[in-house]
Amino acid sequence: MTAYWIITLTAVRDEARLARYVELAGPAIRAAGGVFLARGKPVHVLEGSAVPRTTLIRFDSADAAVAAYRSPAYQEALAALGDGAERDIRIVNAVQD
């Protein structure tokens, strides 16, 4: 079943570290089968508070999404980020018809 990573940045402490993370994370996620569907600042905030950035990534399954997170390449990206940002990451399954 298709699954999605939803990454929400809640705070950015170091723009340079975040930029390095983005540089490393994109290729790592794509290599693990992830497809970026949306990313960036909110266009509109209809409820709740605005966050600096949200990313939505599709994977073939929740297991594939977890494997991508645990991959050495993505762990390298996380190490580069360090404490440069606070994030929430969720993996959710797609709705079945």
Higher pLDDT, 90 or 43: 90
28 lies in which domain range?
3-93
| CATH number of the domain encompassing residue 49 | 3.30.70.100
Nearest to 74 by CA among 60, 89, 92, 54: 89
Question: Under the phi-then-psi rule, with left for phi > 0, alpha for psi from -120 to 50, and beta for the rest, what region is 33?
Answer: left
Structure confidence by residue, pLDDT tens digits, 35-56: 999 998 888 888 887 778 899 9
The pTM of the full predicted model, rounded to 2 decimals, is 0.90
Q: How confident is the model at residue 97 (pLDDT cuts 50, 70, 90)?
A: low
Domain count, the chain: 1
Cα first-last separation, the chain = 11
| 8 A C-beta contact, residue 57 and residue 97 | no
| 8 A C-beta contact, residue 1 and residue 60 | no
